[in-house]
A and B are shown apart, each in its own frame.
Chain A
């Protein structure tokens, strides 16, 4: 089966305060697959994800070298290149964090928030996109009657799916998930795993996980950190 490369890192190195966390990482991620990144904690898995949407740039005294290229509009583009808009990049490369982080506003407003940030004002577009995102995140049936309740009143698993829906509402091409189920119970985690597999059709997913069995069930490719040039497929 022929698959395009969606993301490619070339000699990526990263350090905080001069401590080298990533050393010459060169990896390729295939389009519309799930890639898992596993490894002990503190090894730089989260940091690696942050280099893919440039979110590390807010951390003082951090530095990166090497290249990250992502295929947008059919062309591999350097995301640290001059023509790349930071906000535009982060709209196409969504991210879900380890701890669910809904904002203190209603469920609807939470999902619509990225649309608002992107300057989308048309009511119909917003409603449609919010519903689609909630459907994709498997949350629509559970919350459709209480969209105006606070997002903070949902259960942990629901909150995490809310965050996934929020990341999906702008229809990103890449979705980064940093241990998305590690703060949840098994049942909620299973729901999210299944959901991730369904998202593959639209999106390239990279999931950081420290559960090997979870990874076996859902991932097409597994990269073991610390990265040493060997990967299991």
Chain B
């Protein structure tokens, strides 16, 4: 009986893993098969000369270039907004918060993590309307509002990953620097944060993926079908996920749908690129933190 169960369990685990890998492979394969034929210079740059488009000399009207740049900028700004805030909040939660305050904050961050992105989008939209009415009628849903909303969306990932990786550190390591006369802040900066970097980085990678992929938030806060390269943080912009949503919901012919697949493939490649950058940055920072300085 027991032996059977063990064999059954091993097979079950195997099958589960296989299912997962299979599903990922199927999705990627499907996208590649559908998307690769559509993937060409024209898809990205339309009729514009690629070089002059890259140098921002000429506008691209019928290509994905503005959407790619839009998504890239969006991810970078949102993560830049979320990381300092999230890491600081995570440090506070792990190292300073105690008792009642900690329980309360824990609860609030859980709630924030559970808010659906469409609600966050609505929050961003409301914020834009509020600012428009009360401060300046120049403010509309725009790139900046989108970034702020996305930053809110991913804040819990960064807070939690920072908090957990700090809390996991062995008490013996915690005491090492303190016993040598480090202040609490010195201990955090010189010993604990470098240790926690791996975990924090995983949180940032999750955040990057979420920012690049989310459609609900940007739909309500400033993404449009045609806007060109984002020129100002107060302007509207194009983004890949919005393009994919838009094209697949109202394509006129097969060729347009294929462009949607192409865009999906580009989005995935963009994410991969951003993950790689995050990994490299992490290695670099870890090295700096411990061996240099």
Binding site for B on A (CB under 8 A): 53, 55, 58, 60, 86-88, 90-91, 94-95, 97, 99, 101, 103-106, 109, 113-114, 116-118, 166-167, 170
Contact = CB atoms under 8 A, between A and B. Distances in A.
B186 A90 contact: no
8 contacts: A87-B181, A87-B182, A94-B179, A99-B172, A106-B291, A109-B291, A113-B177, A117-B182
A97 B170 CA distance: 14
A113 B291 CA distance: 11
Contacts of B103: none
B173 to A, nearest CB: 7
Interface residues of B, number: 18
A87 B181 CA distance: 4
Contacts of B186: 117
B179 A55 contact: yes
A17 to B, nearest CB: 15
Main SS class of interface, B = helix
B291 A117 contact: no
Given A97-B172, A101-B172, A101-B173, A90 B291 contact: no
B108 interface: no
A38 to B, nearest CB: 22
A3 to B, nearest CB: 26
B178 interface: yes
Given A87-B182, A117-B182, 11 more contacts: A87-B183, A90-B178, A90-B181, A94-B179, A97-B172, A97-B179, A103-B290, A105-B290, A114-B180, A117-B177, A118-B181
Contacts of B183: 86-87, 117
Contact of A88 (B172, B174, B181, B290): B181
4 shortest A-B CB distances, which residue pairs? A91-B181, A114-B180, A95-B179, A90-B181
A114 B180 CA distance: 6
B190 interface: yes
B172 A58 contact: no
Nearest to B174: A58
B40 interface: no
B166 to A, nearest CB: 13
